[in-house]
Amino acid sequence: MIHTLRDTTTTDRVLRLVLTHQRRARTETHPGDPCARCLAAHVPRVGAFVELNRPVEFVLPAFPVKSPNPAKVLGRLPDMAEELAVRFLDELCTRIAEVYPPGAKVIICADGRVFGDLIGVPDPDVTAYQQRMRELLDAAPSGRLSLFTLDNAKRMPTHGMLRDWLDEDFGESAEDLRREVCDDPATTSLYRGLCRFLFEDRATPDYAGTRAALQRESRRRAYGVLSRSRAWGRVVQQRFPAAIRLSIHPQPCGDPKLGLLLGTGHDAWLTPWHAVAVETSDGYRLMKRAEAEALGARLVRRDGRPSHFTLEGA
């Protein structure tokens, strides 16, 4: 069956499946679920794929690298936390195929190489994380998940030169960015969130500086992470111009980017790379490693590596 733009029902069905897991700002109210503005913002791009009877293409900048803070995660490699998110994305693609047979595909644009130097994660750890993520995506049953990284975007002799290329060809001025952080509430909120995450990730027992110094450093690095993330977004847009852009961050109602939760539980605001998976009687939950250990959760290993926790009686 060939679908056309006139078949708005098909387009709406696809979008409603995705918007069911929309990551919205906590302070934002939506008239309807999903609201008409959220649907309208993405109908043209989804409808264009439907008109051509092609898989709807989504890009998701995410899955950078594990947090360097051992109080949050089990180690440097993807574990059950990432597996659960991959499983969720794979099942979402399967559900879309049930209402639109050509289905959908999700290209995870892993951005760890983009700002690994700014978050204190060495390139070999980024490489190891990306290799394991590629294995998880390749093993997904639907066959509709793939990985795109900065290494795929440009061939350069070193990773540092790759980041220099990203800054020079796709970056923006520091003055413009600082002005936007001051003037735009959404950018201000994102910047503050980055400051908080960067502070937490570096506030480990081996940090020798003062709290005030770490806060200043985190604010400085947050500007760098925000700038690089935007530059990476421009690379992704150039490489996948027709795709619908997903984001792990909340997006305003009607924004061209669509905020997406990576799960269905109440803990879905946590991201796998800042958390561990904890198996309970009600299924898996995400939480920080220190929280799981404080609750008395038991560590589970698979193939000789830490995988997740189990929590008796929870």
pLDDT value at residue 78 = 97
Q: Count the residues in the chain.
A: 314
Residue pointed to by tokens 């220190």: 290
What are the structural domains of the chain? 8-158+231-273 (no CATH), 275-314 (3.30.60.140)
Apex CA 102: angle with CA 150 and CA 143, to 5°? Answer: 50
- CA nearest neighbour of 101 among 177, 224, 214, 10: 10
pLDDT value at residue 137 = 97
Spatial CB neighbours of 34, under 8 Å, sequence gap ≥ 6: 15, 16, 19, 20, 22
Amino acid present at 152:
N
Output the six-digit token pair for 216: 């200043």
pTM for the whole structure? 0.90
State the Cα–Cα distance between residues 153 and 308, nearest whole angstrom.
Answer: 33
State the Cα–Cα distance between residues 74 and 306, nearest whole angstrom.
Answer: 6
pLDDT value at residue 7 = 54
Apex CA 117: angle with CA 58 and CA 107, to 5°? Answer: 10
pLDDT value at residue 1 = 44
pLDDT value at residue 41 = 87
pLDDT value at residue 32 = 52
* 94-107 as b/e: b if 16+ CB within 10 A: ebbbeebebbbbbb
State the Cα–Cα distance between residues 51 and 41, nearest whole angstrom.
Answer: 17
Q: What is the pLDDT along the chain (314 residues), one digit of tens a residue?
A: 444 444 568 999 999 999 988 887 655 555 456 677 888 889 999 999 999 999 999 999 999 999 999 999 999 999 999 999 999 999 999 999 999 999 999 999 999 999 999 998 999 999 999 999 999 999 999 999 999 999 999 999 999 999 999 999 999 888 889 999 999 988 898 899 899 889 988 877 777 788 888 899 999 999 999 999 999 999 999 999 999 999 988 887 788 889 898 987 655 578 999 999 999 988 999 999 999 999 999 999 999 999 999 998 65
pLDDT value at residue 26 = 59
